[in-house]
């Protein structure tokens, strides 16, 4: 599938564009859990494939370090987004002084 997509050229407004695909695979077994879990795992595996340089395939594994890192990043993104929406950031600054000139540099 990836090779077929790689060979495809999309024409849009007098321009030809290359097309790529990132694929997240999840082995489905009797113990795979709910469909929502499987879809979430496939989505995570797809993001890892994209992070590795696009046009790649990544297979989900329970103890995958890259997936754990991706989940951690996504958690922080949600926390930061929520804090921004709730106006919980406070900006501080400290003047920079040029000790040789004895004046403010910025």
Q: Is the pTM of this model over 0.75?
A: no
Number of Cβ within 10 Å of residue 52's Cβ equals: 13
Cα–Cα distance, 66 to 104 (Å, whole number): 45
Q: What's the CATH number of domain 2-89, 1.10.10.10, 3.40.47.10, 3.30.70.270, 2.40.160.40?
A: 3.30.70.270
pLDDT tens, residue by residue, 33-60: 899 989 988 988 898 888 888 788 888 8
For the packed helices 65-85 and 35-51, what is the interaxial angle rounded to 10 degrees?
100
* Structure tokens belonging to residue 79: 């926390």
Ordered by start, the domain boundaries in the chain are: 2-89
* Structure tokens belonging to residue 86: 């709730």
Report the length, in residues, of the chain: 106
Measured in degrees and rounded to the nearest 5, phi and psi for residue 41 equal: -65, -40
Cα–Cα distance, 74 to 71 (Å, whole number): 5
Number of Cβ within 10 Å of residue 49's Cβ equals: 22
pLDDT tens, residue by residue, 91-104: 999 999 888 876 65
């Amino acid at each position: 599938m990836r090779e077929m997509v790689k060979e495809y050229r999309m024409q849009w407004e007098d321009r030809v564009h290359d097309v790529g695909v990132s694929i997240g695979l999840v082995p489905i077994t009797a113990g795979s859990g709910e469909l929502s879990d499987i879809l979430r795992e496939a989505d995570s595996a797809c993001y890892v494939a994209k992070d590795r340089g696009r046009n790649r395939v990544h297979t989900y594994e329970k103890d995958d370090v890259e997936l754990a890192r991706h989940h951690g990043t996504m958690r922080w993104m949600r926390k930061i987004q929520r804090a921004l929406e709730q106006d919980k950031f406070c900006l501080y600054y400290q003047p920079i002084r040029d000790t040789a000139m004895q004046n403010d540099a910025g």
